[in-house]
Amino acid sequence: MLRARARLDWWLDRLGRSDTSRNRLLAFLVLAEGRTPEQVKRLFNGGRFAPAALTEREHALLVKLRGSTLVHPAMPDDVRLECPDWASEPLRQRFGDSFETEMAALLSPPTLDLRVNTLKASRDGVLRELTDIGVRAETSTRAPQGLRVRESLSLARLAPLKRGEIEIQDEGSQLVALLVDARPGDRVVDFCAGAGGKTLAIAAQMNNKGRIIACDVSEGRLKRSAERFRKAGVHNAETRLLASETDRWVKRHKGGFDRVLVDAPCSGTGTWRRNPDARWRATQEQGLDALVALQARILASAARLVKPGGRLVYATCSMLSRENEEQVAAFLAAHPDFEALPLRDTAPHLATLAEGDHLSLTPARHDTDGFFAAVLQRAETAATRHPAQEPA
């Protein structure tokens, strides 16, 4: 129903009905599932565990919808493609003639992508175990530790998941973590760590050596990440709760890290196939202008942590240029001590996934969530480098 919300609401408006959840469900049963009014009436019988009986007006709605499908010739393109008004123009500017293809790809459910935790298992070993229990899995085409499952299944079946040998992570997200290029012994910050998915991938890159700090403004998300670290056998990661993007901790650790990842909060347009409700609530809490301003503040603050010669990776799960290329261009203009590193140099095997210098993934082109990532490097200077202080 969430994937068809705009089309359902269009039909309801066409017939002069309000867009209540119950009306949407009634319309969905007819338009998407092809049920007859009589079949729906038997479902809505008012019995125990059943929805309340249909009213005469509701039954009349079903009769008017009978024989129709979700898509109608008079339906506007944005409605047919489930594209909210606020995102239509920027996405059309981004994709041009490919707009319809890209939007259509966001209407299909995604595959289940897994990342093998090399601290505990090998990809070949996990693949064999999944095959033995009848799970149709295959190796990812681009992520070196990725597996893709092309079927719906109960996650309770996945024993490697319980043992911390695999994590659920979209292949695109795995590639973003790879661009951090963390080495054993490095000092790393995941500045907007959330529940720690990319932190886990980076810790495995580091082979549990060095130090990685997962920062976030949500205590709840950090608690969940700490639990995931323990389950995955990660020993070189710790959490740091920040009051804001300009927390005093950042200033105290200025220039102390080899790698900093900023997986910035964004509109989430790249995740619409995975989170179909996100397209309808993305701008309800804060508008796109506010999000872009927040991203700029986060990026500028996190950049202070990067040591001379260190790497800053800016990433979003958005497909809007304002949050991606334009955001990076504005940062570079304000920070001449940073430069963008072309993807063909930092990850030659991913060069075909680039737009300009940056990683750019979309569901239609790459069968991943929509992701953007830019690799930025701070210039080497003659200034004395001071190691970061221990967290207070």
β-strand partners of 149: 112, 137
β-strand partners of 260: 189, 312
- What is the DSSP-derived secondary structure letter of residue 97? G
Cβ(147)–Cβ(167) under 8 Å?
no
* Closest to 274 in 3D by CA, of 168, 141, 179: 168
| Residue 327, burial from CB neighbour count under 10 angstroms (0-12, 13-18, 19+) | buried
Distance of CA 278 to CAs 53, 111, 281, 285, Å? Answer: 31, 18, 5, 11
Q: Please give the helix or strand (H or E) that residue 361 lies within, else none.
A: strand 358-361
Q: Which of 83, 192, 215, 317 is catalytic?
A: 317
Cβ(25)–Cβ(58) under 8 Å?
no
Report H helices in 56-170. 56-65, 77-80, 85-95, 99-105, 123-132, 159-162
DSSP states along 129-197: HHHHTT--EEE-SS-TTEEEE-S---GGG-HHHHTTSEEE--HHHHHHHHHT---TT-EEEETT-TTSH
317 labelled catalytic: yes
Provide the token pair at 117: 């935790």
Q: Which residue is associated with the tokens 């950049």?
A: 303
HSE toward the beta carbon, residue 299, CA cutoff 13 A: 33
Q: Which residue is associated with the tokens 């249909």?
A: 54
Cβ(120)–Cβ(228) under 8 Å?
no
Radius of gyration of the chain (CA): 24
Q: How far apart are CA 164 and CA 364, in angstroms?
A: 31
Q: What are phi and psi of 54, to 5 degrees?
A: -65, 145
Catalytic residue list: 317
